[in-house]
Amino acid sequence: MRNVVILGSGCAGNTAALYSARANLQPLVVSGHEPGGQLSLTTLVENFPGFPDGINGPDLVENIKQQAQHFGAEYMHGTVTGVDFSRRPFRLDADGTWLEARAVIIATGASARWLGLPSEQKLIGHGVSSCATCDGFFYRGKKIMVVGGGDSAMEEAIFLTRFGSEVTVIHRRDEFRASRIMLDRARANPKIKWLTSTVVEEILDGGTGVVTGVRLRHLKDGRSWEQAVDGFFLAIGHRPNTAAFKGQIDLDPDGYILTKGGARTSVEGVFHAGDVQDRVYRQAITAAGAGCMAAIEAERFLEAEAH
C-alpha cells in the first residue's frame, strides 16, 4: 500500500514526486508510455526560469527525476491502463500489476494528435513523424512538410530548416494560432514556404512504403494537387492521456480532467497535475507548478485522513 502513486514522469509528475518525497510520503511514480513526457522530445528550453542559457528538455526532466529520487521517490516502468477509484484504497492496474494507494496524482500529460488518414497511420516511422526533434536528423537535404498553425508548427518548422533543403508549412486557415514572436521568426526564415487554407488529403508512398509526396487541396478554390515530399511532420496539437480514467473521474468532452479547484478532481484523494488538465498554458513551468500543487494537496489530504 502506497501513500501516493503518481502517474506520469514529465515535468508535472516528477515535480509532484519531488514535493511528496520531501514530505516523507515515499511516492511511487509509474513512468508511463512516454517517460519524461513531452520535454523528453524537445531540444533547448529557453523559458524555464533559472537557466539563463537554456537547458535541454531531456536534461531538465531527468534532473527533476534525480532530485525526487534523492529524497526517496521510487520509479517503476509501465503504464496504468485501468483504475478503481470507487473505494479506498484506490486500485491501479499497471500493466497487470495491481497497486494500492491512499492518494493518486494523475500527471499523464497529453500526446500528439494525428490527422487520422489511413495513409498517415501506415507511414508512421516511414516518413511520417510527430516529433521533429526525434526524426529531423533523417531528412538532411530533403523536402520536409509540417502541418499546423500553432506554436509547435512554427517551432518544428524552424528546427527542421537545420536539416531539410526546404520546409513547407501547411495550415488549414489563413490566420495562425501561433504567437506573434514565433510566427515572425518562422516568416523571417528563408527556407520556410507557406501553404495556407490548404489541407492534406492523402500521404503518398508511390508503392515504396516510404513517404514520397502528399495530395493537397486548397479550401478556397477547391484545387487539388500532388507535391513531392520526403518527411511529413504533424504539429496539430495534443490529446490528453485519460483513457484509463473514463467513468472514474469527471472529464470534459475532449478528455481533459475537469478540475474542482486547485489540483482536485471529482474524486477526493485523486489529484491532477500538468497538461492532462491544462489546455491553456501547457508549459514546462506551469506543469512543474501544478505538480507542486498536487503534492501539497495530496499531503494535506493524507494528513487530514490520519486524524
| One of 91, 126, 142, 172 touching ligand NAP (CB under 6 A) | 172
The CB-of-290 to ligand NAP minimum distance in angstroms stands at 15
Which one of 135, 151, 230, 278 is the catalytic residue?
135
- The footprint of ligand NAP on this chain (CB under 6 A) covers a number of residues equal to 17
Residue 135 annotated among the catalytic residues of the structure? yes
Three-state SS string across 183-211, please? Answer: HHHHHCCCCEEEECCEEEEEEECCCCCCC
Instruction: Specify the residue, 29 or 153, whose C-beta has the smaller distance to ligand NAP.
Output: 153
Residue 11 annotated among the catalytic residues of the structure? no
Instruction: Specify the residue, 91 or 177, whose C-beta has the smaller distance to ligand NAP.
Output: 177
3-state helix, strand, coil in the chain (%, to 5): 30, 30, 40
Contact assessment for residue 99 and residue 28, using Cβ atoms and an 8 Å cutoff: yes
155 binds ligand NAP (CB under 6 A): yes
Rounded to whole angstroms, how far apart are CA atoms 302 and 298? 6
| One of 12, 64, 146, 236 touching ligand NAP (CB under 6 A) | 236
Element holding 272 (H helix, E strand): strand 270-272
76 binds ligand NAP (CB under 6 A): no
Residue 134 annotated among the catalytic residues of the structure? yes
148 binds ligand NAP (CB under 6 A): yes
Sign, CA dihedral 138-141-142-148, equals positive
The string of DSSP codes covering 97-130 is EEEEEEEEEE---EEE-----HHHHHTBTTTEES
91 binds ligand NAP (CB under 6 A): no
Rounded to whole angstroms, how far apart are CA atoms 11 and 159? 22
223 binds ligand NAP (CB under 6 A): no
The CB-of-142 to ligand NAP minimum distance in angstroms stands at 22
> Residue 215: helix, strand or coil by DSSP?
strand
- Point out which span in 89-97, 173-181, 211-219, 251-259 binds ligand NAP (CB under 6 A): 173-181
HSE-up of residue 128 (Cα within 13 Å, Cβ side): 25
Instruction: Specify the residue, 48 or 71, whose C-beta has the smaller distance to ligand NAP.
Output: 48
32 binds ligand NAP (CB under 6 A): no
Write out the three cell numbers for 194: 507557406
Residue ranges that bind ligand NAP, judged by CB under 6 A: 115, 147-153, 155, 172-173, 177, 179, 235-237, 282
Catalytic residue ranges: 131, 134-135
